[in-house]
Amino acid sequence: MSMKTFDTVTQSLINRAEAMGIETGINRLESQLPQCGFGQLGSCCRICYMGPCRIDPFGDGASKGVCGATADVIVCRNLLREEVGGAASHVGHARHVVLAFQKMLEGKAPGYKITDRNKLMDIASRLGIKTEDKSDIEIGKEIVGKALEDISNQNGEPMNWLKLSAQSREFEMWKEQGILISNAHNEIEEAMHRTSMGNDADPVNLLLACLKMGLVDGYAGLHMATDFHDILFGTPQITTVEANIGVLDKDKVNIAIHGHNPVLSEKILEWAFKMKEEAKKRGALDINVVGVCCTGNELTMRHGVPLAAHNLQSELVLITGAVDAMVVDMQCIWPSLAMIAECFHTKLITTEPFVKIPGAIHVPFDVEHADEEAKNIVMMAIDSFKERKGEDVHIPKEKSVGFVGFSVEAIVGMLKKIDSSDPLKPIVDNIVNGNIYGVVGFVGCPSIKLRDTFMTEKMTKELLKNNVLVVTTGCTAQICIQAGLMDSSATDKYCGEGLKTVLHALGKAAGFDVPLPPVWHMGSCVDNARIGTLLGALADRIGVKISQLPVAGSAPELVQEKAISIGTWFLALGLLVHIAPSPRILGSPVATNILTKDLENITGGKVYVELDPIKAAAGIISHIKHKRTELGI
Amino acid sequence: MKEIFIDIERCTACKSCEIACAVEHSLSKDLFSAIFENPLPVKRVYVEKAFLFSYPVKCMHCADAACIAACPTGAMHRNHEFGSVVVNNDKCMGCWMCAMVCPFGAIIPDYAVKTARKCDFCPDRLKEGGKPACVEACPTNTITFGEMKDLFKSKRLLSAERVAKAVLVQEDKEVTPLEMLRSIENI
């Protein structure tokens, strides 16, 4: 039996797995405990073969590696390599989408089209592309050219997407600090180079490189991916969806889409709709596409697809025995899924040439043949449904509902109904009068180490009680929707009086007969770009730097390297970034001091580590209070 | 009486025991807080290198302990609850006789407090029915904790198996490991 206790749905499926003798992450974590102290502090160096070297955190043993690297050098090099892992994932994701868009423009990917023409034109104009007398295809090609320059430029000019998406106050601050970036691929290459044996040994210089990697992630990753997603598949609008594993339906063909890239999942959804009749012929009521992890968030934001599971539940959704096919693309896909799928009729289908799992079926997906391949995959799921007959299925009944689709465009559109000439005014006024005490962005993953403490839910409720509005993305958003925090009923249940008043008024203005929820789902993890855009717009409207706003970021249950690079981008923007569990920096006094204290004098941002949810919320609120005092409100 | 058993063949020199030992002897007993304590907590187990092996050297809580015999003040004594050899700091005068006679080098003079520093067998953990910190932290089961008769029994079973396997290989029989184990049990 597991030593931890989770929410009812998660727990019931863990119990089922244990009864069936199927191992899950919970069991594997227990067999990993206690975890290595050097690893947790970041003070183990495996970069060269004179090592591995470890620095004794208690000062009793080695204080330097074989090459002479101190704990400061080792920690900062390791941190930068973590940043590279995160930023490379997002830049790779964005590049994949840009190239799909380019193929579509060249007529080679007939399954795709320009869905949001307004966004296309908006980006073109902000990139300085002249649009008169040009077709959408021509404009699109010029946009692609600008995007590809950001991974090919050798002239040292600042990246197009950084100029396009960042505010001038932050741009000037980065210029002054010498951390503007020109080419994402060069930065990734240089970061790997400078951290290899015998290069950069200045911890401060390495930490500046970390900030640059944060900008790489923010602009060549997050912003670029979100912009092209919106052009290709549409910009999200506010809608309601159902969530939790209970959205599976035993009488339907259940297809769980898992991963991050909507280029694949959009086509699966389209073909699932087109092939309903095939499914019915084989005895199913319908085809039920449900979302896991961030590609789930992408589909829910644009099409209201039910959100079945966050990353930690990706194994458990298979334990139901009701999933006919799980189709995955890239990132956060646990190798264990193949071993679990094998215990049922479930087909695990991998689609990316660089993401293969032994035991899974590999269907290489390329955008040129998207329709054929998506149809083929959906057909495999329908066939798999037939094999399910007679198998024992356990779908927990619990489901929740919530609002999703809070893109900046959707928020501004809603606010325009109150003040069409100055849409942000109602938000700014309510921040000034304290009805909205502050805004906190929750990002990241569900941590297997903290999930049983209900870290995210407890922190969120504590912030709402203190009139802090919460915006969220990624799997953290799924935790919130499952906890009912995105339902309009949460507003009266959890919010302080001021925030309650604002959300009631906004709900009315938006034309809903209920208040808006207190936690806004802004999308997948690349959609942290939307949080950046919102903060930039607010700062611009008030005429201050982002670092002066009464806001903060939090990765309350850090798992992925991507959360490290997103968090670093937030630090570069000047935000307080709360992180739990601790990032692997505490082995270095220099890194710890700079990241938790001195950085505030440079970008305005700083790291705040706290594992207790109530204390963490209190720490964030005191930061917001300080920012409000400085603004004189 | 449970004791520590060390299997040199399993040690990978990861030093997890050293960290866990220092954390156990900190005020907070938490890694992330312990590294900020002043004075820093100190370990009582030392991973040392010997040829191709590594070995966690620590007090073996000897049944006939030379350190107890050598101690002129009675500071070094036996804790009868756990069978461990421990120092009474109030009686220790820092003569280091214990360190000189210890065949393992497991007792270290602590000049800051002028007393001998050694493994205390994690009494707080044992009182709660737990294992010493180094045992719990060891990822390869190099350091195990149990009744000596059980620990030796399992070692004897392993060597019996090793001999039996060698015999089977010599006779060139193609058998699965399970069949091998069964044939060992039937002998």
Strand partners of residue A349: A327, A361
Coil, helix or strand for B121?
coil
When CB atoms are compared, the residue of B16, B40, B137 closest to A58 is B40
Q: Which residues of B touch A38 (CB under 8 A)?
A: 15, 19
Dump pLDDT digits (tens) for A414-462: 999 999 999 999 999 999 999 999 999 999 999 999 999 999 999 999 9
Q: How far is CA B137 from CA A44, B15, B60, B143, in A?
A: 17, 9, 18, 9
CATH fold label, A245-388: Rossmann fold (3.40.50)
* A586 shares contact with chain B (CB less than 8 Å): yes
Determine contact, residues A57/A37, Cβ cutoff 8 Å.
yes
Overall CATH class of domain A78-233? mainly alpha
Q: Which residues of A touch B19 (CB under 8 A)?
A: 36-38, 57-58
Question: Residue ranges per domain, chain B?
Answer: 2-147
Overall CATH class of domain A404-631? alpha beta
Beta strands A400-404 and A361-362: pairing type? unpaired
Q: Which residues of A touch B137 (CB under 8 A)?
A: 34
SS3 sequence of A566-631: HHHHHHHHCCEEEECCCCCCCCCHHHHHHHHCHHHHCCCCEEEECCCHHHHHHHHHHHHHHHHHHH
Q: How far is CA A359 from CA A339, A340, A341, in A?
A: 7, 10, 9
Dump pLDDT digits (tens) for A68-118: 999 999 999 999 999 999 999 999 999 999 999 999 999 999 999 999 999
Which secondary-structure segment (H or E) carries A124? helix A117-126
Q: d(Cα A285, Cα A309) in Å, to the nearest integer? A: 22
* A608 shares contact with chain B (CB less than 8 Å): no
Question: Which residues have a Cβ under 8 Å from the Cβ of B36 and sit 6 or more positions away?
Answer: none
- Hunting for tokens 């890194």 — which residue is that? A591
Coil, helix or strand for A48?
coil
Quick check: A58 and B35 CB within 8 A?
yes
Longest Cα separation, chain B: 65
Question: Which residues have a Cβ under 8 Å from the Cβ of A414 and sit 6 or more positions away?
Answer: A238, A506, A509, A510
Residue B171: predicted pLDDT: 63
Quick check: B19 and A587 CB within 8 A?
no
Summarize the confidence of residues A263-291 as an average pLDDT: 97
Q: Residue A172: is its pLDDT beyond 80?
A: yes
Q: d(Cα B85, Cα B116) in Å, to the nearest integer? A: 12
Could you report how far apart the first and last alpha carbons of chain B are, in Å?
32
How would CATH label the architecture of B2-147? 2-Layer Sandwich (3.30)
Tens digit of pLDDT per residue, chain B (187 long)? 899 999 998 898 999 999 999 999 999 999 999 999 999 999 999 999 888 889 999 999 999 999 999 999 999 999 999 999 999 999 999 999 999 999 999 999 999 899 999 999 999 999 999 999 999 999 888 999 999 888 888 889 989 988 888 877 666 666 666 666 666 555 5
Dihedral sign computed on CA atoms, order A512, A513, A516, A522: negative
Summarize the confidence of residues A9-27 as an average pLDDT: 95
- Which range, of A26-40, A78-92, A581-595, averages the lowest pLDDT? A26-40
Nearest CA in chain B to A34: B137
Residue A389: predicted pLDDT: 84
Backbone φ and ψ for B17, nearest 5 degrees, come out as -65, -40
Determine contact, residues A518/A467, Cβ cutoff 8 Å.
no
Beta strands A347-350 and A361-362: pairing type? parallel
Quick check: B35 and A586 CB within 8 A?
yes
Residue A1: predicted pLDDT: 55
Cα-to-chain-centroid distance, residue A615: 24
Determine contact, residues A25/A336, Cβ cutoff 8 Å.
yes
A483: which 2 tokens? 């906890």
Coil, helix or strand for A187?
helix
Q: Provide CATH 3.40.50.2030 ranges for chain A.
A: 245-388, 404-631
Residue A413: predicted pLDDT: 95
